[in-house]
Structure 1
């Protein structure tokens, strides 16, 4: 239970409830206490013990917590029940509806000073912001959640930290996103805080930024660690629905502790449902690795599985990013028209502020397809747009490769000086596969 109110506030509350009930101070006090004690308590000149408050609450016919804090009976449990409803809404992909639910719950939790429930609502609002692509607002919600949990253990703060990192990643700030994820992983693993859920969330979230920075070895390792940590989930939505129904029944019967336990199970299952987005990233990574090894059929299968999981979650931004990877595989399999159509469809969902690296990758691939069709003007236009996006994001590995493509195109069209400038730019960004300038990889958990 949260901190109780000051003695003066409790005293005034006792007096009002006593008068409303038509009781005298003697009737309220007997048989355990004296009228003088009740008078002193109502005047706010004594801090009542839990035992005294329980006695008075019983005489007044109110809940102990309501008397001590002014909150309606079972408010916290009721709020947690409605937070799981909002989680369910978000897990089914209705992010805008979920955001409205979370906003109302946040206001209620703030009104009653329920800190943990405030943090849960803020995290939900942050996830809604990511799903709808409102990254600035999402980041602000995650920062507020982190502030609410400032005194909590690190594993409890991981969802807020991870959310903040993801907003930076999706905005194209790759290096800072990786710094946040790696430093949190290091603190967890070196400190012996091997919380599987927290670790899974962080490793899965690191895959995308690692890939975009050219740190393929770290991305592959993160994917394998995430999959090793992933819980085995059958159909959590059905089980979660059962726990919510049970919680309602228990709450109606006044069995608060049992209702809270059921709600905790429902909340965990909805969290696992949201993890499908993270697990989709692992299939995305496997598809990328298969493509690099030339196994294009398996790469297409893995990427389509990732895209299907993301579409089911209505994670539009992530789904668009996977679509770019899938288009590359389709192009390499000789289906360039299909690849180009897919790229044009998703470019509307990507920009310099939302998925900058994959927007650049889409333009790069469209440039290659245009070159194959002997349309050098369109190819150059796509390469230049991609170059601008990658320079802003700092995606060194992709930038070096793009400069080579642009340089080759300029050289073939007789613009030698411009080609040399492009090559020089690329050399300045060259990195070896699997490396970054991020320093040592974070410590690993004992699996």
Structure 2
């Protein structure tokens, strides 16, 4: 997209160009507020205009002061924001290269026009490209780059930067820092319902995985009230998707499924195919937990294929590991092993998925009768989950490890594994 005006044009030259475009003499522009000679010096660059003169000239031209000062065409900020919105839809629909090119161009233009809020949004969108490509470190770095301009950004964007940054920390195995950052932002008092809903949404998954179910439940209830006042359908949809985890955990499966269906509908309504596919992944997880394995297999397969088409490597990895769990439960350990192997190179970027996949490999070994390998893998999974403070997953892994050790006749070690599971349960965040 090309806009009128030259961002490198000196201010004096711009004033002269705007004057001559209108067919005015220097006297006609300058008077009655200023004399022709002073305007001539401004146009040649030998004298800078005062703030008062700049405001006077801007009014004569029918521009804002910043449009005159920085050479912004009228309406350019709104056009650039709309371009970023369009690029974000491209990203959600898998047109990653197009989106990336657009984001870079808008970031450059916004910087030239001194539009800090638009440049911040563009930098955030560039971080989203990294996120979609499962470049967790790159996404975090880009988010920190966006945060340099966050003071100029609207509240919803500042909240989304924190949301994604905390997600990067969580995937990197630092759930405690992820939660603390979001809670600090909430304590500071977000200034609108969209921002507050975004931050509450960011809390839910880490709290559930760390064993802080009561705190996650409070966040879900608060978010449910805020969702009625929120204006961004994508934020409401993300909330419903995350809140479904809480309803699952407290035994309200119907409510969880309703939230996922609503989230999918809202994402589809704004053309967010990537996030709609992630809802299908979440629903597959729910169906697996409910024992509806054939339905879970179909939903997870569809989610994985859609996420692969869109280019969401993080989504592909997570959905594939969950699908492998279903195939194992369906009595197909070879299929499960093949699925885990398929995405193994991606899993080092996501500590939660790495721990889950390592534990799943242990279960596959157990199903095949290789209890020694199962023991080793389950120990590795427990260590990964414990280091990342994923206490809920660590408890489940410790129980499986204890069962395998008991099968092997190692009763003392089995008891020790069960104790470790109890310790992990006790280490969850305080409610």
The reply to whether TM is greater than 0.5 is yes
Q: Is the 1:185–1:202 contact (alpha carbons within 8 Å) kept by the matching residues of 2?
A: yes
- What residue is the counterpart of 1:384 in the other structure? 379
Q: Is the 2:116–2:152 contact (alpha carbons within 8 Å) kept by the matching residues of 1?
A: no
Q: Is the 1:321–1:355 contact (alpha carbons within 8 Å) kept by the matching residues of 2?
A: no
Q: Which has the higher contact order (CA 8 A, sep 6+)?
A: 1
TM-score, reference length from structure 2: 0.72
SS at match of 2:346: coil
Cα distance in 2, alignment partners of residues 187 and 284 from structure 1: 34
- What residue is the counterpart of 1:318 in the other structure? 315
- What residue is the counterpart of 1:395 in the other structure? 390
Cα distance in 2, alignment partners of residues 281 and 271 from structure 1: 15
SS at match of 1:438: coil
Cα distance in 1, alignment partners of residues 282 and 20 from structure 2: 68
- What residue is the counterpart of 2:256 in the other structure? none
Alignment size in residue pairs? 384
Alpha-carbon distance, 1:81 to partner: 4.8
**Deviation digits for residues 237-258 of structure 1 (CA, Å, limit 9, x no counterpart):** xxxxxxxxxxxxxxxxxxxxxx
Q: Does 1:366 align with 2:361?
A: yes
Cα distance in 2, alignment partners of residues 271 and 32 from structure 1: 53
Cα distance in 1, alignment partners of residues 319 and 209 from structure 2: 12
Once the two structures are superposed, the pairs formed by residues 290-369 of structure 1 within 5 Å of their partners are 290-300=287-297, 303-304=300-301, 306-307=303-304, 310-351=307-348, 354-369=349-364
Inter-CA distance 221–64: structure 2 relative to 1 (3 Å threshold): closer
Cα distance in 2, alignment partners of residues 186 and 292 from structure 1: 34
Alpha-carbon distance, 1:418 to partner: 4.4
Q: Does 1:140 align with 2:141?
A: yes
Cα distance in 2, alignment partners of residues 180 and 133 from structure 1: 21
TM-score, reference length from structure 1: 0.70
Alpha-carbon distance, 1:148 to partner: 1.0
Cα distance in 1, alignment partners of residues 303 and 89 from structure 2: 21
Cα distance in 2, alignment partners of residues 271 and 148 from structure 1: 30
Q: Is the 2:386–2:424 contact (alpha carbons within 8 Å) kept by the matching residues of 1?
A: no
Superposition RMSD in Å: 4.1
Q: Is the 2:175–2:388 contact (alpha carbons within 8 Å) kept by the matching residues of 1?
A: yes
Inter-CA distance 373–54: structure 2 relative to 1 (3 Å threshold): closer
Alpha-carbon distance, 1:56 to partner: 5.5
SS at match of 1:44: coil
Q: Is the 1:223–1:282 contact (alpha carbons within 8 Å) kept by the matching residues of 2?
A: no
SS at match of 2:151: coil
Cα distance in 2, alignment partners of residues 283 and 41 from structure 1: 62
SS at match of 1:273: coil
Cα distance in 1, alignment partners of residues 217 and 283 from structure 2: 8
Cα distance in 1, alignment partners of residues 279 and 188 from structure 2: 23
Q: Does 1:438 align with 2:429?
A: yes
**Deviation digits for residues 318-348 of structure 1 (CA, Å, limit 9, x no counterpart):** 2321222232233223333332322222222
Once the two structures are superposed, the pairs formed by residues 261-276 of structure 1 within 5 Å of their partners are 272-274=270-272
- What residue is the counterpart of 1:44 in the other structure? 48
Alpha-carbon distance, 1:130 to partner: 0.8
Alpha-carbon distance, 1:371 to partner: 1.3
- What residue is the counterpart of 1:35 in the other structure? 36
Inter-CA distance 56–183: structure 2 relative to 1 (3 Å threshold): closer
Q: Which consecutive unaligned segments of at least 5 residues does structure 1 have?
A: 1-8, 234-267, 441-447
Q: Is the 1:172–1:356 contact (alpha carbons within 8 Å) kept by the matching residues of 2?
A: yes
